[in-house]
């Protein structure tokens, strides 16, 4: 059989999917028939969760139902609290999440085939695990989930010990909506591979978290934060970034493997940040750094089409809403877990074991096979 080598599987479609359309040349991102950038302006996390997971924007009854379900599934059982508290302080948050989610036993069970209700349990609990761990590592009293706040507002409430202003909740909601799914990226592919063996949803999600731990996939917004810190004031932006490019360093938050034009998520998040967060020093610095970076990248790397990606504006938003740096990538999980779950459900509904192949380039036996 002729085997074609395609290292990295670029451009290879591994499934038909109704969930997300990405066009990196045109700069398009569509969730189930809706422009993601438009959804991010005024829809809630729960509405887009319903769209991505169940296939349609919810009517009032469906929205109330999904919101209530998330609220009722948020609290951590005491055994999981004990596990979180007993983990050594140095365990990274992503490892905590991967380990603790692996122990979740949803009310409706966790065995194959996966269901949307199983997914809701994991989605509901993820922010609580992070907030509880953050409090226990920092020696503060964990804040129990609020019985009436929405999913995003409640996450900020648990982290800050108080509810934040509506504009800040909007900004974080926009980020979480825009990062909810991105077609067959590495972690989503991983989740589909795992469930295609008829393993359970929890195993698929934990494997996806593992894939996201790698710096080539997750992790850029905190590096954008470092860049903004290093620049400090607008006047230094050009000098700092010019030096970096001349040294051969990459400007964090710019360029994308798929988008060769403006990342539609970055454009949408910038719009929401400008309209919902105060005209802070940070916002002004971000706008200036973006403008200078795009100009310098065009000058030094002509034709490479390097524009801000979602991580650039995620850094500004996450910092404005007081999410600590070490929780940036885990916070991304709070939203991408919805996309992973939707893909797991889609894969299991029309399943075929995913089993690619390799071209053998190793040594060959020096005699014919004994028969
Ligand atoms: C995301 C990323 C890995 C995509 O890279 P890619 O599409 O595979 O592009 P390549 O790595 O092939 O780079 C193409 C050229 O653009 C340059 N380039 C790409 N991103 C750059 C950046 N952020 N800063 C400076 N130069 C960059 C490369 O140096 C290369 O230049 P060359 O042709 O002179 O060698 C890359 O843009 C990057 O490292 N960005 C910074 C990290 C980041 O923001 N990651 C979050 C992504 S959501």
343 is catalytic: no
pLDDT in tens, 51-74: 999 999 999 999 999 999 999 999
Question: Is residue 300 over pLDDT 90?
Answer: yes
Residue 279 has pLDDT above 70, yes or no: no
Instruction: State yes or no: is 311 an active-site residue.
Output: yes
Among 22, 250, 258, say which to mutate for ligand 1: greatest number of ligand atoms within 8 Å of CB.
250
> Rounded mean pLDDT of 215-244?
91
Q: Extract the runs of DSSP E, i.e. beta strands, from the chain.
A: 20-23, 28-31, 34-35
The answer for residues whose C-beta is within 8 angstroms of residue 99's C-beta and 6 or more apart is: 83, 87, 91
Residue 257: the pLDDT is 87
Classify the C-alpha dihedral 208-212-217-222 as positive or negative: positive
Q: Give tens-digit pLDDT for 208-217.
A: 999 999 888 8
Task: Please tell me the distance from the alpha carbon of residue 114 to that of residue 206, in angstroms, as a whole number.
Answer: 14
The residue whose CA has the least distance to atom 27 of ligand 1 is 250
| pLDDT at residue 110 in the model | 84
Q: Is the pLDDT of residue 7 over 70?
A: yes
Q: Given ligand 1 and candidates 215, 255, 302, which is best to mutate, with the most ligand atoms within 8 Å of its CB?
A: 255
Q: Which of 256, 290, 343, 346 is catalytic?
A: 256
Task: For residue 157, report the distance from its CA to the centre of ligand 1, in Å.
Answer: 36
| Domain at 13-214+326-349, CATH homologous superfamily | Citrate Synthase, domain 1 (1.10.580.10)
Read off the pLDDT band of 218 (50, 70, 90). confident
Q: Is the pLDDT reported for residue 294 higher than 80?
A: yes
Sketch the domain layout of the chain as residue ranges: 13-214+326-349, 220-320
As a whole number of angstroms, the distance between CA 353 and CA 148 comes to 42
pLDDT band for position 317 (cuts 50, 70, 90): very high
Task: State the CATH class of domain 220-320.
Answer: mainly alpha
β-sheet bridge partners, residue 308: 254
Q: Is the pLDDT of residue 260 over 70?
A: yes
pLDDT value at 333 more than 90: yes
The pTM (predicted TM-score) of the whole model is 0.95
What is the average per-residue pLDDT within 42-46? 97
Pocket of ligand 1 (CB under 6 A): 220, 245, 250-257, 297, 301, 304, 306, 309, 311
């Amino acid at each position: 059989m002729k085997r074609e080598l395609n290292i990295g599987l670029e451009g290879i479609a591994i499934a038909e999917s109704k969930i997300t359309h990405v066009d990196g040349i045109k700069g398009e991102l569509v969730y189930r028939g809706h422009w993601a950038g438009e959804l991010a302006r005024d829809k809630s996390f729960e509405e887009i969760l319903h769209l991505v997971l169940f296939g349609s924007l919810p009517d009032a009854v469906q929205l109330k139902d999904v919101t209530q379900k998330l609220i009722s599934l948020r609290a951590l059982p005491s055994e999981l609290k004990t596990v979180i508290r007993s983990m050594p302080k140095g365990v990274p948050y992503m490892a905590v999440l991967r380990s603790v989610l692996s122990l979740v036993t949803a009310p409706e069970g966790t065995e194959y085939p996966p269901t949307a209700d199983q997914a809701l349990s994991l989605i509901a609990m993820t922010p609580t695990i992070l907030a509880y761990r953050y409090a226990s590592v920092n020696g503060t009293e964990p804040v129990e989930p609020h019985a009436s706040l929405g999913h995003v507002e409640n996450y900020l409430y648990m982290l800050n010990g108080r509810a934040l202003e509506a504009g800040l909740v909007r900004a974080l909601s926009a980020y979480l909506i825009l990062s909810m799914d991105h077609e067959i990226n590495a972690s989503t592919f991983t989740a589909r591979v795992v469930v295609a063996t008829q393993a359970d949803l929890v195993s698929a999600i934990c494997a996806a978290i593992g894939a996201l731990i790698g710096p080539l996939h997750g992790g850029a917004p905190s590096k954008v934060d470092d860049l903004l810190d290093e620049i400090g004031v607008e006047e230094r932006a050009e000098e700092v970034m010019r030096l970096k490019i001349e040294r051969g360093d990459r400007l964090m938050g710019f360029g994308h493997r798929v988008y060769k034009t403006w990342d539609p998520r970055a454009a949408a998040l910038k719009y929401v940040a400008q309209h919902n967060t105060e005209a802070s020093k940070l916002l002004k610095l971000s706008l200036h750094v973006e403008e200078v970076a795009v100009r310098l990248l065009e000058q030094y790397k002509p034709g490479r089409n390097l524009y801000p990606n979602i991580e650039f504006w995620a850094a500004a938003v996450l910092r404005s809403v007081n999410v600590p740096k070490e929780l940036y990538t885990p916070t991304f999980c709070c939203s991408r877990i919805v996309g992973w779950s939707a893909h797991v459900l889609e894969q299991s509904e029309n399943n075929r074991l995913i089993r690619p192949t390799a071209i053998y380039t190793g040594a060959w036996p020096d005699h014919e096979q004994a028969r």
